[in-house]
Structure 1
Amino acid sequence: MKSSGMPHPDPAAFIQANLSISPVPAIPEILLHTAGPASGLWRLAGRGEADPPPYWAYPWAGGAVLARHLLDRPEKVIGRRVLDLGAGSGLVAIAAAKAGAAVVTAADVDANAIAAIGLNAALNSVNIVAVATDIIEAPPPEETDLLLVGDLFYDPALAVRVMAFLRRCKTAGIEVLIGDPHRAYLPQSALQRIATHAVSDFGAGSSDGAVQAGVFSLS
């Protein structure tokens, strides 16, 4: 629960003070502000201490596998206009920028994520346009060549909305790449696997061991 008499912390200042900087496992090219046990994220998110942590505070496997893939295959993004949907920490967007994308936009509904993306982009010396908006009910984004989707299939209702949006984007001529470690609501029958990488899944509590996560395109 929020504390009624406490001012809401400034997100950027809180992240800098409480989240340590470390390289992403399996992706040493990228540094992120990452939460630890004593980070006190509930104070920033306005939640209770027992509530689930926010997604932007960890490198989840779906984003990690996409980031690894783009850094290994820069021809996927060089010179292209890229949008990272549900960007969280900005890991995928940062990888796209490092791999040579012309323009990278990161979209997330959490304003604290937008602050984290700005800080993480600066850590990695890349330019990313971060926007706090829910775009999945909107028309396909203009001036976008490649849509990147890391780990958005963990909730059934969200998965349906995301897939409808991705279908509209594909119809509009936008290439779609999805990174996912086979979450419960990943629509595998509608996807084609194009790569597999072993990555850690910090947010799911499996940071000590790798998971086999996939990169997929729409069938």
Structure 2
Amino acid sequence: MKRASQPQPDPAAFIRANLPILPVPSVPEILLHQAGPASGLWRLAGRAEADPPPYWAYPWAGGAVLARHLLDRPEMVSGRRVLDLGAGSGLVAIAAAKAGAATVTAIDIDANAIAAIGLNAAINGVNIVAWAADIIEHQPPATDLLVVGDLFYDPSLAARVTAFLRRCQASGIEVLIGDPERAYLPQGELRRIATHAVADFGAGTGRGGVQAGVFSLRQ
């Protein structure tokens, strides 16, 4: 007899119960729900092949370096509309809001990430509009600044993201990329703006973390 599958837990309730609120390494001004060894994240993330990996449950270097940069340089976002692409936990979106952005939108393909962003925004006392979508084949969004961290880990995705960012730049949107120089980062098309030592999930806990960069697209 086939065993009935367990119902999927409510994302927000699961995150509150199982992912403790912790300061982000390298960005302690921001608190996030973060997964640990005992979180049982598989119960929320799902096991089907089409289920997106739960990248949102951990702070990654690309997001951390962008968040650090925006908090240290609030003039980059003050009074501007900001869109965080592949927002994950909402780390960069929260940093933009804290730095004085007029409006902040966070977009991710994972509905569980959207639940996490709502909770994390509330923890940090900021307002973020978050929605689940894949927009990189669409027309450029209505925003002044587009920020993207950690989306260059897969060759096909990296190519799609780069083409989208080029279209955004051509429409007048400023683009900022945060990345610890992963394999498929198109470095020949980028200009380095800053470098910060930040922690990266899976890179160990050595002093100083990894050297991650903030980049803009070359004209």
**TM-score normalised by length of structure 1:** 0.94
Equivalent in the alignment of 1:147: 146
Equivalent in the alignment of 1:57: 57
Q: For each residue in 1:94-139, what CA deviation from the matched residue of structure 2 results, as whole angstroms up to 9, or x when unmatched?
A: 0000000000000000000000000000000000000100000000
* 1:216 match: secondary structure: strand
Q: Is the 8 A contact 2:107 2:131 kept in 1?
A: yes
Give the superposition deviation at 1:53: 5.2
Q: Is the 8 A contact 1:42 1:53 kept in 2?
A: no
Q: Is the 8 A contact 1:23 1:32 kept in 2?
A: yes
The size of the alignment, in residue pairs, is 213
Identity among equivalent pairs (%): 79
Give the superposition deviation at 1:54: 1.1
Give the superposition deviation at 1:33: 0.3
Cα separation, 1, equivalents of 2:210 and 2:4? 41
Equivalent in the alignment of 2:91: 91
Q: Is the 8 A contact 2:26 2:68 kept in 1?
A: yes
Equivalent in the alignment of 1:200: 199
Equivalent in the alignment of 2:30: 30
The 1:134–1:52 alpha-carbon spacing in structure 2 relative to 1, beyond 3 Å, is closer
After superposition, residues 126-165 of structure 1 pair within 5 angstroms as: 126-142=126-142, 144-165=143-164
Give the superposition deviation at 1:79: 0.1
Counterpart amino acid of 2:146?
L
Q: Is the 8 A contact 1:90 1:117 kept in 2?
A: yes
Q: For each residue in 1:170-208, what CA deviation from the matched residue of structure 2 results, as whole angstroms up to 9, or x when unmatched?
A: 000000000000111000000000000000002x24244
Q: Is the 8 A contact 2:64 2:92 kept in 1?
A: yes
5+ residue gaps, structure 2: none
C-alpha RMSD of the superposition: 1.5
After superposition, residues 165-204 of structure 1 pair within 5 angstroms as: 165-202=164-201, 204=202
Q: Is the 8 A contact 2:52 2:110 kept in 1?
A: no
Counterpart amino acid of 1:83?
L
Give the superposition deviation at 1:216: 0.1
* 1:87 match: secondary structure: coil
* 1:148 match: secondary structure: strand
Q: Is the 8 A contact 1:41 1:53 kept in 2?
A: no
Q: Is the 8 A contact 1:195 1:214 kept in 2?
A: yes
* 2:95 match: secondary structure: helix
Cα separation, 2, equivalents of 1:174 and 1:53? 29
Q: Is the 8 A contact 1:83 1:105 kept in 2?
A: yes
**TM-score normalised by length of structure 2:** 0.94
